[in-house]
Structure 1
Amino acid sequence: MTTMIQGDQLRAIALGRGPVSKAVPTLSATTFQLFTVSGGQVLITALWGVVTTAIAATGGTLALQVDPTTGDTATVVTATDLGTNDAAAGTVIGVRDQGDGTTDFAESGFALRDLVVPIGDVELVGASGVDGGITIYCTWIPLTDGATLVAAA
């Protein structure tokens, strides 16, 4: 049987550009710039993580925020303790709607979808006691002609 559409072409049709990834090999109580948006707004069509070094049961949390160049910083994923039961290396991290108006990180959760991001940064925020490492991936499409999303330097 002939394959008319290759895997990368199908992914581009369904999810847009990417995936773009940013590794955070050592999590700590700091803010990590993951992705930088320039030239206009983009739509993140999928965002997820993969644990690279186990996140132990230490009580630290991770949150996700959008920090625009102009406007207010907004929390997108509420601070979540991923190490309650140890998140082993290789574990996929997605999100779950908690039914209370918040979205939390979750092991084997859903990809975060349909996030409009203005010019600025997408950031991972660590809190005291968090450890381990993670790589965050995203796919995206430009909403404004000339808009781009790249892994932060």
Structure 2
Amino acid sequence: MYPRQRQNPDQVIVTKISGSKSGSLSFMVSLDSKLHHHWSVNGKNQIIMEGSCPTKRIPPKLNENDNPKGIQFSAILDLQISDVGTINVLDDNKLKIEGSDWAVMLLVASSSFDGPFTKPSNSKKDPTSESLSTFNLIKNLSYADLYSRHGIL
């Protein structure tokens, strides 16, 4: 009997898109959420989105001092393209890819959820630091490496 392989060892969602002709791949990519969030572009090929989930439904009248901290979240979208093509930043929150042969998108996400017995306001987890740490572990792996590591036995 073989040991069961972990189905998501790198904690990343990976997608590869290829064009049918050299230089024919062009598209825009961004991150969005219905929850309170903000984004920034890190370098030329990475979007970082950070936000928070409310702890409860906010009543119509909220005191200024009552600002309950909910679960915080972070997502990092990293884009890698072929040597042919360009990536441009639009509106500080979108990446526009033009004239590429292929693109690999890596999505890493984390939250400050620290178990069912820890209040969100007491969590010490930093989701952006965790997402960046996860990304740093996989950034030098090729698409083929990631694909083979995530295979299901």
State whether TM-score is above 0.5: no
TM-score (norm 1): 0.30
TM-score (norm 2): 0.30
Which gives a bigger RCO, structure 1 or 2 (Cα 8 Å, sep 6+)? 1
Which structure would you say has the larger Rg? Answer: 2
User: Which one has the bigger strand percentage?
Assistant: 1
